[in-house]
Chains A and B, each alone.
Chain A
């Protein structure tokens, strides 16, 4: 029989995996469009609106109380205060329930009632004092000029984009491996493959290479969308970002392989995948900083692969850090990947 072409099994397996993936429209949605939709939705929900005004109450004897009206006008000149007039009882009630942050009883002497433990109350007290003194004719002795700064990189969307990228790398890495391998076992495709001289390592490697093929478009789409819609720029090196994402993807492919190493049903695999991913969605600083968790659990949280990956991605994207600065996080990610692969290969069931 003629042999017009050379066929390399690893190449053919990888191409097959890629084709299998792009012929699955649902998978394309989850990998490429879902994270962008999520970023846009969250970015709109948490967009910067400028600081809210602080509600302040003024005690007025009646609707037409002239002293109260004068005080209210003075307070309204402050950009951060929102004054309203109340009866003495309603004012105290409002203060107690937190509807207003400060209650002003016009004087003389002017009385400020507030809860000293509330930061907004303290700001209101200072602002109200300033506004009343100025209205009464006080002159500043030292000239001051305020310059307002909105630092890009400090907004919520700046925090969110690297987290979403990390979450997406985890989700697609774990799902693509766990689903594809489990369904191949479930439908006895694996068994048919091991009945050929195919090298098992080629099969497993092709699963990972097939996944890596989608990394670049995925990165471009998500980082591109962040830049286009929200002006989230990558401050660090794009090469380092790519390498870090590559490492993260391989690690989560390893975890996916571990999840799929023995289960034979899709239900079993998705249960395990959720068990692995759910804690990391919450703990690993995707939507909010993992530093909000108590100190006692920080070592555990920081040792999770997604926490380490997110810290590394944030370091590169928002802080412009270099390889040396994120090396500890990369080491954690790498360690998870190596251990997962080693265990998965050891316990993998081919039939």
Chain B
């Protein structure tokens, strides 16, 4: 085994998947190193789920190569299943079974694995051991899905939108579990449309849109590629036009976010006073103004002109 191969947990090249009327994945390349937490960030319909399900060996790609842990689904499918933990998008488990029975059932599928009780305890589900799956809250169900993924003691964890629809507390709990898994040497590949999730959890992030990777790097690298550490958002009455905003120092790409203008800038101290002067001189009234540190969301908006979550 070459050193390079042993460092790579997941690799795919030229992945293509077409459905009847859409190209879900359009020539996607990816490489996930062992021991890292890698995020696929993109809006709904970007092809994240199709990509991760191809990598999980659940969907056949129309073209492209997939290599998992130095082997392929064709060569070593069954062996690979022993080494991966998978949580599907909105995983449905048998609602008539209890939490404890479900984890025990999943444990039975693996030759080696963890003690179901210990996994339940780690995911704070031990008190729900005898509760039916159908009676769990969204956060509990999602934790159970992760418990089922962890009980086989996997080398790589695939999580498709693990925290979608969860309350903030459940999200934090789940993030902690993912960070713990990575801290013990596990590799994580997750999809999300929450930029804060990608920033908090992921060592590296691939931003996906229309079935392709449009940006790749650590969250810090990606954000610094904006050449703007901060973002000013404001609205005025009447609205300012784009051309005059472009005259502001440090502003290169003003764009709309709902009723607001969003201006990525290098220095707030430099741009804000001049912006206020510009608004006042034009005779408009400022309705609101806020600033925040630039995020992956701002990068996505500047790359595609669209928001990650259209809601």
Interface residues of A (CB under 8 A from B): 1-4, 7-9, 11-13, 16, 19-20, 23-24, 184, 187-189, 191-198, 351
B123 at the interface (CB under 8 A from A): no
Tally of contact residues, B, Cβ under 8 A: 34
Give the CA-CA distance A193 to B57 in the complex, in Å. Answer: 13
- Whether the pair B107, A7 counts as a contact (CB closer than 8 A) is yes
User: Which among B87-95, B200-208, B230-238 touches the partner chain?
Assistant: B87-95
- Whether the pair B105, A351 counts as a contact (CB closer than 8 A) is no
User: Which among B32-40, B110-118, B277-285, B298-306 touches the partner chain?
Assistant: B110-118
- Whether the pair A189, B94 counts as a contact (CB closer than 8 A) is yes
- Whether the pair A188, B88 counts as a contact (CB closer than 8 A) is yes
Give the CA-CA distance A49 to B86 in the complex, in Å. Answer: 67
- Whether the pair A9, B96 counts as a contact (CB closer than 8 A) is no
- Whether the pair B108, A24 counts as a contact (CB closer than 8 A) is no
List 17 A–B pairs whose Cβ atoms lie within 8 Å, in order of A's numbering: A1-B115, A1-B118, A8-B108, A16-B105, A20-B97, A189-B92, A189-B94, A191-B58, A192-B148, A194-B58, A195-B88, A196-B81, A196-B109, A197-B82, A197-B109, A197-B152, A198-B109
- Whether the pair A19, B101 counts as a contact (CB closer than 8 A) is yes
Rounded to whole Å, the gap between the CB of B115 and the closest CB of chain A is 5
Rounded to whole Å, the gap between the CB of A28 and the closest CB of chain B is 13
Give the CA-CA distance A150 to B113 in the complex, in Å. Answer: 67
In the complex, what residues of B have CB within 8 A of residue A198's CB?
109
Rounded to whole Å, the gap between the CB of B135 and the closest CB of chain A is 12
Rounded to whole Å, the gap between the CB of A194 and the closest CB of chain B is 7
B128 at the interface (CB under 8 A from A): no
Give the CA-CA distance A23 to B135 in the complex, in Å. Answer: 14
Rounded to whole Å, the gap between the CB of B6 and the closest CB of chain A is 22
A3-B94 contact given A12-B108, A191-B58, A195-B56, CB 8 Å threshold: no
B155 at the interface (CB under 8 A from A): no
Which residue of A is nearest B145, CB measured? A192
Give the CA-CA distance A20 to B95 in the complex, in Å. Answer: 8
- Whether the pair A16, B92 counts as a contact (CB closer than 8 A) is no
Rounded to whole Å, the gap between the CB of B209 and the closest CB of chain A is 26
B210 at the interface (CB under 8 A from A): no
Within 8 Å by CB of B108, from A2, A7, A189, lies A7
Which residue of B is nearest A184, CB measured? B94
- Whether the pair B118, A187 counts as a contact (CB closer than 8 A) is no
In the complex, what residues of B have CB within 8 A of residue A16's CB?
94, 97, 101, 105
Give the CA-CA distance A198 to B86 in the complex, in Å. Answer: 13
Rounded to whole Å, the gap between the CB of B215 and the closest CB of chain A is 29
Report B49-80 CB contacts with A as 1/0, cut-off 8 Å: 00000001110000000000000000000100
